[in-house]
Amino acid sequence: MEKTDNIKLTYCDLGVAYQCNFQCKMCKFWENSPLNQNNVLSIEQWRDVLEQLSALVDKKNCIINLSGPGEPLLRNNILDLIKHGVDLGLKIQIISNGFCLNNQIAADIAASKLKFISFSLDSLNPETHNYLRGKDNAFEHVMQAIDNIALICPDICIGINTVISKVNLNEIIELTQWVQNDKRLAYINFQAIAQPFSYDQAENVEWFKQLEYKELWPDDKKAIEQVIDQLIEFKQKGYKLADGIVQFEVFKQYFLDPLTFIKKTKCNVAKAGILNIDPVGNIAKCQMIGIIDNIKNGKTLKQICLSEKAEEHTALINNCQRNCHLVVSCHFDNE
């Protein structure tokens, strides 16, 4: 069984970033990360990953997201890696907090020929955004980053990524209208708050009941319904919303009843064409299920994707009924 045609990838998340300058409420990476330059994949190893992907994927229909648990623009030589991916014909995107994106970096991004960039922005209220991102002046910097990219990289597609939580729930509509009215911005993409990423906390389906996270979980049912229904109305009117109507209905269902599986049958992540490679080279379709293999072990991506372990991994996903961020926010498929 060695047919490249059997590998149908539509989204590859590559964890190139292992450092972060924020202390986000929805992520504990900054608090307990074991990552350092000695245990993560080198830029040369990531270049090889991109070269392998260029031979495996349909370049027009597969997004290669250079992200990670950290901030990609803090990685040395990241723009050289981006340019290498673009030169290979891959559809490369990055998601940034924008904090270090000054005019010079914007010019370097332009030189890299990157075509897709998204910025994390949770509110037009500076206090809300700064609080959620755990960084003074985070709002000021991301707004300046948007200005810099729009001015220096006029051909780039700029998006906004927003995590819906209790803290910003009542500010979501204002943010959506701002994106709609700003001609520089192509879309806004929402994610529902999920258990904050952490290296030393076990998965807990009732995480939202924990005292340290209760401030993040939306518990006003009326407000949830009003906001989500308004987003659905915006979508029907043609607003620049990346999420579909069914996705918004899923958000509502998830917020109102988080312990009931949102799918009628089984998780669809296994068939969604996803590949995740974390900063140290672990490969998975769903990292919550476990690891298929590690790129450092000497096998090619093709061999790993077509291996028996990959098939076992897929079977485990198909039997999973957890409302993880992948199925709720990222790769939900209508049944």
SS3 284: strand
What is the model's pLDDT at position 261? Answer: 81
Q: Whole-angstrom Cα distance, residue 136 to residue 280?
A: 30
Give the closest residue to 231 by CA, choosing from 181, 183, 174.
Answer: 174
CATH superfamily of 4-330: Aldolase class I (3.20.20.70)
Please, what's the b/e burial string for 234-251 (b: 16 or more CB within 10 A of its CB; e: otherwise)? Answer: bbeeeebbebeeebbbbb
- Rounded mean pLDDT for each run of 10 residues along the chain, 335 residues in total: 62 94 92 91 98 93 92 96 97 97 97 97 98 97 98 97 98 98 98 87 88 95 98 98 93 92 72 89 90 96 94 88 74 59
Query: CB neighbours (10 Å) of residue 183?
Result: 7
Look up residue 134 and give its two tokens: 């755990």
- For the chain, the 3-state helix, strand and coil shares in percent, each to the nearest 5, are 40, 15, 45
What is the model's pLDDT at position 331? Answer: 59
Give the closest residue to 73 by CA, choosing from 148, 137, 141, 21.
Answer: 21
Look up residue 111 and give its two tokens: 């030189």
CB under 8 Å to 226, separation ≥6 — which residues? none
Query: CB neighbours (10 Å) of residue 300?
Result: 13
Sign of CA dihedral 304, 306, 308, 313: positive
Exposed/middle/buried for residue 34 (C-beta within 10 Å: 0-12, 13-18, 19+): exposed
Q: Angle 221-236/245-256 helices, nearest 10 degrees?
A: 180
Look up residue 148 and give its two tokens: 């810099």
Q: State how far Cα 37 lies from the chain centre.
A: 22
Tell how many helices (H) and how many strands (E) occur in the chain. Answer: 12, 9
Look up residue 101 and give its two tokens: 């994106």
Q: Whole-angstrom Cα distance, residue 198 to residue 207?
A: 12
Q: Tell me the backbone φ, ψ of residue 136, rounded to 5 degrees.
A: -60, 140
What is the model's pLDDT at position 265? Answer: 65
Could you tell me the pTM of the whole model?
Answer: 0.93
What is the model's pLDDT at position 145? Answer: 98
What is the model's pLDDT at position 28? Answer: 87
Q: What is the DSSP string of 57-101?
A: S-TTT-EEEE--SS-GGGSTTHHHHHHHHHHTT-EEEEEE--TT-
